[in-house]
Amino acid sequence: MSDSNTLLQKRQEEIVEEFAFFEDWMEKYEYLIELGKELSPMDESDRTDDNIIRGCQSRVWLAAKRSEEGLLEFRADSDAIITRGLVALVIRALDKLPAEVVSGADLWFVQRIGLDTHLSPTRANGLLAMVQQMKHYGIAFQAR
Amino acid sequence: MLNPAHIRSQFPILNREMNGCPLVYLDHAASSQKPVAVIEAQREYLMHLHANVHRGVHSLSQQATDAFEKARETVRRHLNAAHVEEIIWTAGATDAINLVSQSWGRTQIQAGDVILLTRMEHHANIVPWQMLAEERQARIEVVEINEKGELIETDFQEKLKLNPKLVAFTHVSNSMGTINDAKRWTAAAHAVGACVLIDGCQSVPHMEVDVLTLDCDFYVFSGHKTYGPTGIGVLYGKKDLLESMPPWRGGGEMIDVVSLEKGTTYAGLPHKFEAGTPHISGAIALGVALDWMRGVGLQSIGDHENTLGAEARHLLARVDGLRFIGTAEEKTGVVSFVVDGVHPYDIGTLLDPMGIAVRTGHHCTQPLMDYYGIPGTVRASFGAYNTLQEVDALAAGVERAVRMLR
């Protein structure tokens, strides 16, 4: 558990370091677009209405399962590429961690890299709801 | 001809920088910015004139009431309504439509009746009618549009054969800028005995509107899209019709005599529909906003916006894979578009750090987006204060964003 927590912190520090190189907003967005393009697309079979998280403008799909080692594995996708980039970052931070670490995760990296406005309810991009849903999965898998 | 530099100098907010760039505000259709005259009118009211209206014998209340009622007369003149009591203050256009659906609708719409809307309506001119239809077991029918975003005349004629009780349509489409031939549609609807409500949110800010010539039964618009404050809007209704309608909201202001024993009788028009203390400063400032528009010239404003829209379409047409949504023969300056393989949200997100404010999404017209099979559009909308330089910035910004996203 504490190892997993350390891992979560370490992943976030790495992301913050990567973003420290960028001088302005456009560079950050270019990187997010790159991440968005690299994120392997979800199988069509997983892009179901059950897995959809409705944002007002961009749609986000999220699926979760528990690996044999008991870790939570996430796959996600969005129809907007910048949202996909953000989705990729969140998955990078939370993927393959124990359910209890996911449910209690503090994603401080988002604010540190200046993208917290994208996690605000007014953004309506579905991202905030996705993070909440990931934590709900964390709680649900713990209960099993 | 309108002088953009002179106009801009009257809009303090346009001096703002956004994300280190000069603010390029192209979201007029969502809400317009306010000229100093409007800002000062609200301030002046609060500084020197505020008291509750229609209540006090004291001078301050009378002065506030005079200013408030003078603004009503300004609206009457602006719309060329026959009587000042045909102008009802509401909280906005949405509120005005709800007033009609709840007051006129609940007394006039019976089970099986048809309410005719169009494919291009804003949700505010759909949902109140759906709620009414559900309650009254009435039926909603829809006039469809063609690929250009124009109402299909033959479909309209066909749907009129269903003898709708009400035809409610937008004068100008908020998503596409299509100008509907409101006078002709109204006459056609009247010919089958239908009542007509027109949503004027996107017409009043851009053109001359004459309700007498249109001959519509109801006309609604909101203050904040027409250089005025938020929280104030207008319902125009024909006098006979308004008189026949029951009040919707109960409270102070709207009564004649209140008795716990004998029941309550209501005030006459327009106060019957204005329960509670109204948005006094908003109404006064809206009157000032309409006068400000007249000062600039409605025709000049419309012409200027059309010039900007035409230039925007000309420049944006160069972007590979860009497709305009809404190419009606008769339209306002609004420019709505999608780009193949690129989500509108991404374009809007990238324009934001360049200081360019556009609207992305479905613009509260989901049925219209369904017709085009798209999640939304990028929409640039213009007001009197926008410039050709801003249109250049938009086009350059969109080109840059699309290059990044592809």
Beta strands in chain A (DSSP E): 52-54, 59-66, 71-78, 97-98
What mean pLDDT comes out for the span B139-145? 98
pLDDT band of B250, cuts 50, 70, 90: very high
Record the tokens describing residue B333, joined without a space: 């300056």
Interface of B with A (CB under 8 A): 19, 342-346, 349-350, 353, 360-362, 375-376, 404-405
Choose from A57, A78, A119 for mutation: most chain B CBs within 10 A: A57
Structure pTM? Answer: 0.94
* pLDDT attached to residue A111: 87
Residue boundaries of the structural domains of chain A: 2-143
ipTM for the complex shown: 0.89
Q: In this complex, which of A33, A58, A124 lies closest to B405 when CB atoms are compared?
A: A33
What's the number of CA atoms in the CB half-sphere (13 Å) around residue B25?
21
Residues in B touching A24 (Cβ below 8 Å): 353
Inter-chain residue contact A29 with B360, CB threshold 8 Å = no
Residue B58, classified by CB atoms within 10 Å of its CB into exposed (0-12), middle (13-18) or buried (19+), is exposed
Q: Give Cα separations from B327 to B271, B282, B323 (angstroms).
A: 42, 35, 10
pLDDT band of B379, cuts 50, 70, 90: very high
Inter-chain residue contact B346 with A82, CB threshold 8 Å = yes
What mean pLDDT comes out for the span B186-197? 98
Distance from CA of B339 to the nearest CA of A (A): 12
Q: What is the pLDDT of residues A89-138, one digit of tens each?
A: 999 999 999 999 999 999 999 889 888 777 665 566 677 888 888 999 99
CB pairs under 8 A between A and B: 45
What is chain B's Cα-based Rg? 22
Inter-chain residue contact B360 with A33, CB threshold 8 Å = no
Residue of B nearest to A59 (CA): B375
Q: In this complex, which of B19, B343, B346 lies closest to A25 when CB atoms are compared?
A: B19
Q: In this complex, which of A25, A33, A80 lies closest to B345 when CB atoms are compared?
A: A80
CB B219 within 8 A of CB B204: no
Q: How far apart are CA B38 and CA B11, in angstroms?
A: 10
Inter-chain residue contact B343 with A58, CB threshold 8 Å = yes
> Does pLDDT of A24 surpass 90?
no
Inter-chain residue contact B405 with A26, CB threshold 8 Å = no
Residues in A touching B342 (Cβ below 8 Å): 81
Termini Cα distance of chain A: 17
Provide the angle, in degrees to the nearest 10, between the axes of the packed helices B344-351 and A81-94: 90
* pLDDT attached to residue A49: 87
CB B232 within 8 A of CB B92: yes
Residue of B nearest to A30 (CA): B404
> Does pLDDT of A36 surpass 80?
yes
Record the tokens describing residue B40, joined without a space: 């000062």
> Does pLDDT of A144 surpass 90?
no
Residues in A touching B351 (Cβ below 8 Å): none
Inter-chain residue contact A56 with B361, CB threshold 8 Å = yes
* pLDDT attached to residue A120: 62
What residue ranges define each of the domains in chain B, with the CATH number in brackets? 4-30+297-405 (3.90.1150.10), 39-294 (3.40.640.10)
Instruction: Please work out, in degrees rounded to the nearest 5, the angle formed at the alpha carbon of residue B309 by the alpha carbons of B306 and B312.
Output: 150
pLDDT band of B138, cuts 50, 70, 90: very high
Distance from CA of A81 to the nearest CA of B (A): 7
* pLDDT attached to residue A123: 61
CB B338 within 8 A of CB A79: no
Distance from CA of A60 to the nearest CA of B (A): 13
Q: Confirm whether A56 is a catalytic residue.
A: yes
DSSP H helices in B317-351: 344-351
Residues of B forming the active site: 364
Residues in A touching B360 (Cβ below 8 Å): 57
Q: What is the pLDDT of residues B220-243, one digit of tens each?
A: 999 999 999 999 999 999 999 999
What mean pLDDT comes out for the span A60-68? 91
Residue of B nearest to A33 (CA): B405
Plot region of B312 (φ>0 → left; ψ -120 to 50 → alpha; else → beta)? alpha
Distance from CA of B353 to the nearest CA of A (A): 7
Residues in A touching B373 (Cβ below 8 Å): none
Neighbours of B137 (CB within 10 A): 11
What's the number of CA atoms in the CB half-sphere (13 Å) around residue B328?
24
Record the tokens describing residue A62, joined without a space: 């999220």
Q: What is the mean pLDDT of chain A?
A: 88
Inter-chain residue contact B343 with A80, CB threshold 8 Å = yes
Distance from CA of A102 to the nearest CA of B (A): 28
Inter-chain residue contact A83 with B353, CB threshold 8 Å = no
Choice among A13, A30, A41, A56 that is catalytic: A56
Q: What is the pLDDT of residues B72-94, one digit of tens each?
A: 999 999 999 999 999 999 999 99
Between 3.40.50.10420, 3.50.50.60, 3.90.1010.10, 3.30.360.10, what CATH number should domain A2-143 receive?
Answer: 3.90.1010.10
Residue of B nearest to A125 (CA): B345
Cα dihedral value A89, A93, A97, A99, nearest 10: -80
What's the number of CA atoms in the CB half-sphere (13 Å) around residue A46?
15
Q: How far apart are CA B21 and CA B311, in angstroms?
A: 22
